[in-house]
Structure 1
Amino acid sequence: MKDKYIIYFISRTKAEMIKFIDNKLKKNNLDDLIPSHGNILTALFESDKPLTMKEISKKIGKDKSTVTALVNKLISLGYIEKEKSISDKRITYIKLTQNARNIENSFNHISSQVRETAYNNFTEEEKKEFLRLLKKLSTNFRNANKLD
């Protein structure tokens, strides 16, 4: 196998996945959202409490500046809001609004469709092996970036 195609197919798969999610968002009248908002909303939907920017950043694996830009956009769209900690005014929490709660079922349905499409015709063993290999690939790049 020509290993130069691995990176090509990862890139192409990501582009197709983003296109798929965009289409599903539009079909569900959520076209004000973009796929990268999904990670933040998922983190908040899955949490039983508001989260700090640092907690969100860690959960979704993105740097704080990227999270800040996405959070600010979600605030302007009315899906989340900031709330200062009562006990420590230096801490700001990010929490879902009622607007976000209103779309939660549609959002979860889209997420389910993404997973179903991604793993269609995969056995459980293939999913485990695929995840193991992707983690290995990701670690290789993370370690190489630490050297630069």
Structure 2
Amino acid sequence: MGYSVSRKFHKEDEDVTEDLEKLQNLLLALGRRSSLRDPIASMCEQLQFTPPQVHAILWLGQDGPLTMGELARRLGVTEKTVTGVVDRLERQGHLLRERSATDRRVVHCRLTEDGQSTWERLNRVVVHGMHQFLGILDVGDRKALFRILEKLVKRMSAPATPTPRERAG
């Protein structure tokens, strides 16, 4: 369940609530100055792909073959929805499905040669967008950004620990 800023929180959540409001306000301020649109959104339009199709190609190009379940998880969609995404990309010649040799129930998706070429094009757009974004920041700010993102990755990778409220029951 998502949180809204107006939701009542316990004392331990008050600082996060204030920070959430600050983050929202800063993102809105950035959005008023420059589009915060996904840097590959224009490529979706040019290539006539949906965002999930583009993100599927990006994940498969970056990490190689993935199971349908893993691809669905990374796209934030259901397995039923990812089937439609994969069906369209397969029809267009961008990817192939392959059954696992050890477990025939498991289906892996991998890019075709055309899919690999599309990934290279998309990846260039993403790299260019990140270069422009990072170019706005000085070296110290970039290091601070990386430190924060590394902390987020580490903490999100760790097993979930119950909050004091959850422990209290």
The TM-score normalised by the length of structure 2 is 0.57
1:121, 1:97 → 2: CA distance? 36
The answer as to 2:102 corresponding to 1:81 is no
- Judged with a 3 Å threshold, the aligned counterparts in structure 2 of structure 1 residues 8 and 133 are, in CA distance, closer, same or farther, namely farther
2:103, 2:77 → 1: CA distance? 23
Q: Quick check: 1:32–1:77 contact (8 Å CA) kept in 2?
A: no
Aligned CA RMSD, in angstroms, stands at 3.8
Deviation at 1:9, TM superposition (A): 5.2
Percent of counterpart pairs with the same letter?
18
5+ residue gaps, structure 1:
none
- Judged with a 3 Å threshold, the aligned counterparts in structure 2 of structure 1 residues 116 and 79 are, in CA distance, closer, same or farther, namely same
Q: Quick check: 2:99–2:106 contact (8 Å CA) kept in 1?
A: yes
The answer as to 2:143 corresponding to 1:125 is yes
Q: Quick check: 1:44–1:95 contact (8 Å CA) kept in 2?
A: yes
Equivalent of residue 83 in structure 2, options 64, 68, 85: 68
The TM-score normalised by the length of structure 1 is 0.64
- Judged with a 3 Å threshold, the aligned counterparts in structure 2 of structure 1 residues 85 and 6 are, in CA distance, closer, same or farther, namely same
Q: For this pair of structures, how many residues does the alignment match? A: 136
2:150, 2:102 → 1: CA distance? 42
Equivalent of residue 36 in structure 1, options 39, 47, 52: 52
Matched to 1:47, the amino acid is D
Deviation at 1:129, TM superposition (A): 5.0
Q: Quick check: 1:78–1:97 contact (8 Å CA) kept in 2?
A: yes
Aligned to 2:8: none
Structure whose alpha-carbon radius of gyration is higher? 2
Cα offsets for 1:43-73 (capped at 9, x unmatched): 211234x221122234x26243343343233
The answer as to 2:23 corresponding to 1:6 is yes
Deviation at 1:17, TM superposition (A): 2.1
5+ residue gaps, structure 2:
1-17, 157-161
Aligned to 1:104: 119
Q: Quick check: 1:53–1:64 contact (8 Å CA) kept in 2?
A: no
Deviation at 1:25, TM superposition (A): 4.9
Aligned to 2:63: 47
